Chain A
Amino acid sequence: MSWGLDGVQVRFGDTIALDGVDCTVAPGRVEAVIGPDGAGKSTLARVLVGLVPVDGGRVRRPGRARLGYQPESAGTWRDLTVAENLAFVAASRGRGADLDGRTRELVAVTDLAEVTDRLAGDLSGGMRQKLAVAMAMLPRPDLLVLDEPTTGLDPISRADVWRLLARAAGEGAAIVVTTAYLDEAQRADHVVVLDHGRVLVTGTAREITSSFPGRLVSTDRRDPRRPSWRRGRGWRTWDRDTSTGARPEHELEPDLDDVVMAAAIARREAGS
C-alpha cells in the first residue's frame, strides 16, 4: 500500500500553501521533497501526518500507531535524557508494544549508546537529530515523515542520518523526507520539487536531470542575455534554444540544483 497526497490544496487565509500537490511513496522507498524556503515542504510533511487540515484533495496515511514523524524542530524533549525520550515514545505505543530490543538496536546504530543518560538539550545538533530520527523510527512505522532532518548538520552527521533512512527503508517503511539540500535528494528513490506550493517537477533524480530543457554552459561571468546563476566561483548559463549552433565547449550535465533553478526561473517568467 502506498501513502501520499492526491491533488491536495491547503490555504492559510489568502495564501495558498499547497496547490494541487501529488506525492506518492511506496513501502521501502524514499521520497525527497525539495525546494526553496517557503516552497511548502513543511506544510506537505505536516499534511501527511495530519497536523494541517486540507482544503481539497486526498491524503493517504496509515493510522497514527503506524506513523513516524520528526518535526522541523526535531521534536525531542530537551529536558529528558536520550533514554527517557526513547522510553516515552515506546510507552506511548501502549503496553502491548515491546520496544526494548528495538530501542537498544537504534541506540547502537545511532551511536548514542555512550550518551543515553545525557539530556537531549545537551546533545550536539547532529546527535539530537539522530535521536529525533531514532524516535520516529522506533515503532517501525509504515510511513516515516521527516521534516528537514539534516538542516544545519555537518556532512558527516548528514551522512549518518541518511544511513538511518536507508535502514528504515530496508525495514519496509515508506519515507518522505523534506530537505533544502538538493545534493541529498539524489540519494532518494523519487524526488518532488516544490515552489510556491506547486509541484515544479517530479521523478527520479536521473529523470529530472535528463528532462532539463535546453543546455547548460559553464561561463566565467554572467550572461545578460540568458538566464544565469552562480555555482561556486563560476556561472551556469541556461541556453534554451538548442536548435542551432554546435555543441558548446563548456556544456555541463545539469544536476538537481540546476533543474530547480531553471524550473523556478521558467515559472517566474510564465507568471510575469
Chain B
Amino acid sequence: MWAMVLKEMRQVRRDRRTLAMMVVLPVLLLVVFGYAARFDVAEIRVVPVGDQVASAAQQLPEPFTVLAATDDDPVDVLRRGDADVAIALEGGTPTAHVDGSELFTAQASQQAFAGIAAAGGPSIDVVVEFNPDLETSAVLVPGLGGLILVFVGSLITSLGVVRERQAGTLEQLAVMPLRASDVFVGKVAPYFVVASVDLVVVLGVGSWLFGVPFNGNPAWLAIGSLLFLFTALGIGVLISTVSDNQGQAIQLALMTVLPQVLLSGLIFPLSSMAAGVRWIGYLLPLTWFNVLARGVMLKDAPLSALALPLGVLALMAVVVSTLAVWRFNTELRPAGPGDTDLDPARRQDVPAEVTS
C-alpha cells in the first residue's frame, strides 16, 4: 500500500497544474463564496420622474439611493439601465417601475416598498417591468446562452486542438502549404457553427419552454454573440497552446469557465459583490454578454445602453483573437518565416533556404 501511496504522491507532485488547481480552486471558491455569493442587495438606484416626485423620493430610506430626477418615460429610464427603479406620479398615485431583469434587486424593491407601506408610509404602486412575474428562468436563460458559448468555445475548441497535437497531426498541418491563419480559421470554424446553432437552440427552446420574452433587436444580440464567440474561441485556442494533453486543457478551461459562472452576474448579482470581486467580474467576457443578452431580450434596450457591453466585447474579441492567432502561428511556424505568407500559386516552386 505504501508503495502505491508513494507513487501517487510523486505523480501529484510532478503534475504541477493539477497541484495548482487543487490549491487555487479552494482559495477561489472561498473568495467567491465569501465576497461574491450574496443575494442581499445593498443599494437600489432610484430615479424620480418629474419634480413632484423628486422631493418626495428624497424621503426613501435605505437601501434606496435617489439619483437625479428626469422627465423621461420611466420605462425608458429602466431600458437604458439608468436606474433599478423609476418612480412616477400616474393618475395621482406614485408608481414605482421596477427593472425585473435584475431579479434580486426587483425582489428587494418590492419588499422595501411593502415595508414602507406597513410602517405607515406612503403607499406606492409597484409595477415590475420586463419580467412581471419575476421568473428566474427569464433572467437565467439569456446568460445560459452565453455559458453554452463559453463551454463550446473554450473547452471543446481547446480539446480539439490539443487532440490534433497529441495525434501528431498538428505537425503534419504545420508542414503543409497552408497559412497559419487558414489552419486557425479552419480549425475553429466547425466549433463556431456548432456554438452558433447551440445559442439559437438554447435561446429558442428557452423562450418556447419557459416563456422568456425576446423584446429587442436580434441583430444586436447576434453581433454581441459573434464578438463573444470570437473571445471564447480565442481563449480555447490559447488554452490549447499551453496544454500538452487533453487533461491539462480541461483543467485550464475549467479555470476560465468557473469564474465566469460565479462572477459574471449570471447567478449572483454583481451589485451585491464586494468591489474587488466585482472588478474581477468586469474583466470576464460572460459578464458583458450577460448584460447585453438581458438588455436585448428582456428590456429592448436602446443601442446607447448596449454600446458599453458591445464595445467591451469587441475589445476583448480583438485582444484575445490576436493573441490566439499569434500563439497558434508561433506553434505552427517555430522555425520562422519561410514561404509561409506567399500566395499558393507562387508557393509551388519556391525553394526556401534558412540560415540561422
Contacts and interface: CB of A to CB of B under 8 A. Distances in A.
Interface of A: 1, 46-47, 49-67, 69, 71-78, 89, 92-94, 96, 135
Nearest to B338: A50
Contact of B351 (A52, A63, A78, A96): A63
Nearest to A92: B176
Interface string B329-341: 0000111101110
Enumerate the 7 nearest inter-chain pairs by beta-carbon distance, A residue then B residue, closest first: A73-B168, A75-B172, A63-B339, A50-B335, A63-B350, A94-B344, A65-B177
A77 B167 contact: yes
Nearest to B348: A65
A72 B168 contact: yes
* Contact residues of A: prevailing secondary structure: loop
Nearest to A88: B176
A61 B352 contact: yes
Nearest to B339: A63
Point out which of B336, B350, B354 has the most chain A C-beta atoms below 10 A from its C-beta. Answer: B354
A92 B178 contact: yes
Given A53-B334, A54-B335, A94-B344, A60 B169 contact: no
A58 B169 contact: no
A75 B356 contact: no
B345 interface: yes
A77 B347 CA distance: 25
A50 B175 contact: yes
A67 B350 CA distance: 11
A69 to B, nearest CB: 4
B174 interface: yes
B171 interface: yes
B169 A89 contact: no
Contacts of B345: 94, 96
Contacts of A49: 175
Nearest to A55: B356
* Contact residues of B: prevailing secondary structure: loop
A47 B174 CA distance: 12
Contacts of B167: 73, 75, 77-78
A63 B171 contact: no
Interface in B302-356: 333-336, 338-340, 342, 344-345, 347-356
Contacts of A62: 350-352
Interface of B: 167-169, 171-172, 174-178, 333-336, 338-340, 342, 344-345, 347-356
Given A52-B334, A52-B335, A72-B168, A1 B175 contact: no
Nearest to B182: A92
A92 B351 CA distance: 18
Contact of B168 (A63, A71, A94, A96): A71
A77 B353 CA distance: 30
A79 to B, nearest CB: 9
Contacts of B354: 50, 54, 58-61
A78 B334 CA distance: 25
A33 B320 CA distance: 42
A2 B71 CA distance: 82
B303 to A, nearest CB: 42
A51 B335 contact: yes
Contacts of B335: 47, 50-54, 59
Contacts of B169: 73, 75-77
A245 B132 CA distance: 108
A184 B210 CA distance: 69
Given A50-B333, A53-B336, A72-B168, A64 B176 contact: yes
Contact of A63 (B333, B352, B355): B352
Contacts of B339: 63-65
Contact of A58 (B177, B350, B355): B355
Nearest to A46: B171
Point out which of B174, B340, B345 has the most chain A C-beta atoms below 10 A from its C-beta. Answer: B174
A65 B175 CA distance: 9
B175 A67 contact: yes
7 contacts: A50-B175, A53-B336, A61-B354, A64-B338, A65-B348, A73-B167, A94-B177
Given A72-B168, A73-B168, A58 B334 contact: no
A71 B338 contact: no
B310 to A, nearest CB: 37
Given A50-B175, A51-B171, 16 more contacts: A50-B354, A51-B334, A52-B334, A58-B354, A58-B355, A58-B356, A61-B353, A62-B352, A63-B338, A63-B350, A63-B351, A64-B339, A65-B348, A71-B171, A73-B171, A96-B348
B336 A69 contact: no
Contact of B356 (A53, A66, A76, A77): A53
A49 to B, nearest CB: 5
B186 to A, nearest CB: 10
B336 to A, nearest CB: 6
Contacts of B355: 58-59
Contacts of A73: 167-169, 171
A252 to B, nearest CB: 40
A54 B356 contact: yes
A51 B356 CA distance: 14
A68 B128 CA distance: 67
A92 B347 CA distance: 12
B175 A63 contact: no
Contacts of B347: 63-65
Contacts of B175: 49-51, 64, 67, 69
A75 B171 contact: yes
B346 to A, nearest CB: 9
Nearest to B349: A66
